[in-house]
A and B are shown apart, each in its own frame.
Chain A
């Protein structure tokens, strides 16, 4: 399972920790044990049998948001996040997974029908279609926690003249990122096969979540599941409308947060910026941006394995927005939107000051076009 990572693990073991400054998890905890180099070294030792697969050591594998910030600083072909997720899979196989993720495959499966029920209950029935040219696949985060966002997405698509997109109809409303990230590799493969079957009914799927897009495009292939459906990220899709957006009013000045999966994984840094620049007179950049953007703490199932750290990461990310006194923050990922939004509410409750409103790209479009 870890064989393909052999060289990467060795390189990290000997590396002078050159990516450490980029890791938002170890920056939040200031704990040497969980800088990328150490996490990889622990995995190296576990892999070589020099440490035993026990939670005492495997716990470090879970202190990762799989955000790939470290990779920006690496000059070797080392991809720490996916390597550590493979390490989690080995830990699960060895019975040394994370306690907070026990029976995660079971709870994951149990959750799917509930997601479908929630979708059915809250979204317009007429929009669902179990067979269509193109379908919207909002992602589990949006369906479970922000159905309003999905409704807004549909409204915006209508205004843009993309009302032909239907809502994906099926039990497989999650592409399986949590299973991959939690290290349940068998369950992930089985789920991927089910999703692939369900997707066959659509020629094109527009995904509301860039993490889903990465998993569908890249991780499915890795486990041998081929998708015949074209996968499009929602931001990519919206880029096609630049110049055609019926802007009714400009949206006030805002910051833009690069989602890890949209930016570092899909390589789309400019797309969301181009869309936003059509809608707002002033867009601020974080000083850590694009490839150096700091993760909101939502990736790698970190909110489950290290909730306090994940929360601290989101709060740290907001500090520049607070400092600038700007009240809007836009992003392009349902998880980022949720994590940063919750952090903004906490900060406001704790420190007062300007309340920061966190918006998705769709929300900004919605405001600009209503």
Chain B
């Protein structure tokens, strides 16, 4: 941002909100300079923690303040980047053009609950764990459990089209949204709802990643807290057999909450579960065997990072063992007791018919207990000098295996890759690839990292897949938007011109200027 634009910005913002909620302090600018885009973490490993600091951070408390801030930004031509909890993995909140970082977390009120309509209204800065907690203590659930639930906000979920682990039953965030309050890029406050004429604005603002406006409040569909959770593990010889079973199950009209099929390598890791002590959290402590996981982790690193070579032979042996170990399917129903019991009964028969081996409830319960553990492993991988990232793409059942093979092959040229299939729908499914790679040189690590994404996404798109299923676009996939949407991008550009005429809203994201 040019110094001329910067000068007086704080004073101008002070007309919009209290000065104590405006900062251009060095520590704040550093803290807001990145999200959790793993490419940025490669930088962190090499000491670059503030790749693109904002000029100013603001903490509005009301929608009116947000509107006033946006108007200041419009008047001065300064970028505005809406910010939730900064746990995104695509660089969507990197203030690459500097400007104003708009932290919404002071807007975290629980506005309304309607138990008859089963809807709840929250301000968008509320953190997921707090939101769910507020619902649970009143006897409800949102049914939205992204693995980032501890560190992401409702606004972030909406902005990036988030999905939770129980999406097969409750849907993704776009299926839950009933209405939004949005401050558009011109500072106008609008409320979308269930209106039936004109475009479905809910679905336009959901996924817009702050490029069209700031989502300040949302009404979402909720459900009654489930009476039961019926979890179970199944083993299939190959991913294709497991996928066929899932497809048949869903197309018969069953709606389990949790559906996760791990490929052979991911199964090996999932079976081993958590590592390290989890202290203090009553009733939830169950540290898993760490040794075998460490073995695999080291093996993975040795494959992924050539210079760790000596372990490679052992690693290959291990992977050979792993690849003969079968695939784990975790399936769980939750909700009304009578309905879930019947669903499980029908579902079990279907899975047996499809060649599944019933492992009983234990693997399912174990998964449930450790459902958020996977994110903790990231630190270990980076600490060991590698990088890890995940690529979540989706397609219809018809193309799913083709996409699985294509992406695995493409990414596998550069890094070690494993996958699980989660977020299954009657018409298709998403695949969640995890890849680990690295190099001791930052430049080389970034080159490998970029190659994984470039080749992986081209493969996914080529196999009729999407560029993203629930992490969003941000910076990391911006270059693939045109390929994903084709000529429809013209409509996105038109939306941008209309809703953000000054071009100040989160510039550079979603493949937009």
Contact = CB atoms under 8 A, between A and B. Distances in A.
Asked whether the complex places CB atoms of A and B closer than 8 A, the reply is yes
B64 interface: no
A270 to B, nearest CB: 10
Contacts of A56: 25-27
Most chain A beta-carbon contacts within 10 A, residue among B125, B137, B282, B373: B282
Contacts of A13: 44, 49
A181 B367 CA distance: 39
Contact of B278 (A45, A68, A75, A290): A75
Contact of A73 (B57, B150, B379, B380): B150
A71 B27 CA distance: 23
B409 interface: no
Contacts of B133: 287-288
A277 interface: no
Interface string A25-51: 001001111000010011001001010
A208 interface: no
B130 A11 contact: no
Contact of A18 (B86, B108, B376): B376
A15 B378 contact: yes
Counting contact residues on chain B (CB < 8 A from A), the size range is 35 or more
B319 interface: no
B83 interface: yes
B105 A18 contact: no
A16 interface: yes
B127 A20 contact: yes
A290 B281 CA distance: 8
Contact of A31 (B59, B148, B282, B382): B59
A7 interface: yes
A289 B363 CA distance: 29
B291 interface: no
Interface string A281-320: 0000001101110000000000000000000000000000
A157 interface: no
A68 B376 CA distance: 18
Nearest to A44: B49
Given A16-B36, A16-B378, A32-B86, A75 B108 contact: no
A60 interface: yes
A96 to B, nearest CB: 12
A14 B127 contact: no
A77 interface: yes
A14 B27 contact: no
A113 B274 CA distance: 52
A342 B8 CA distance: 40
Contacts, number: 129
Contacts of A15: 376, 378-379
B83 A11 contact: no
Interface residues of A, number: 44
A160 interface: no
A11 B379 contact: yes
A68 B275 CA distance: 20
Contacts of A17: 36, 85-87, 150-151
B55 interface: no
A20 B150 contact: yes
Of B32, B106, B281, most buried by chain A (CB within 10 Å of CB) is B281
Interface string B378-410: 111111000000000000000000000000000
B281 A76 contact: no
Contacts of A155: none
Contacts of B103: 30-32
A57 interface: yes
Contacts of A33: 25, 27-28, 30-32
A11 B376 CA distance: 9
B396 to A, nearest CB: 31
Interface string B116-135: 00000000010111100100
A59 interface: yes
A291 B59 contact: no
Contact of B282 (A11, A71, A75, A269): A269
Contacts of A12: 379
Contacts of B127: 20-21, 27
Contacts of B137: 287
Contacts of A76: 276, 376, 379
Contacts of A122: none
B512 to A, nearest CB: 25
A349 B452 CA distance: 60
Nearest to A21: B129
B89 to A, nearest CB: 8
Given A11-B380, A16-B148, A42 B129 contact: no
A30 B106 contact: yes
Interface of A: 7, 10-22, 27, 30-33, 38, 41-42, 45, 48, 50, 56-57, 59-60, 68, 71-77, 264, 269, 287-288, 290-292
Interface of B: 25-28, 30-32, 36, 41, 44-45, 47, 49, 57, 59, 83, 85-87, 103, 105-106, 108, 125, 127-130, 133, 137, 148, 150-151, 274-282, 372-373, 375-376, 378-383
Given A30-B103, A76-B379, A287-B137, 11 more contacts: A10-B383, A14-B45, A15-B378, A16-B378, A31-B31, A32-B28, A33-B31, A56-B25, A68-B280, A75-B274, A288-B133
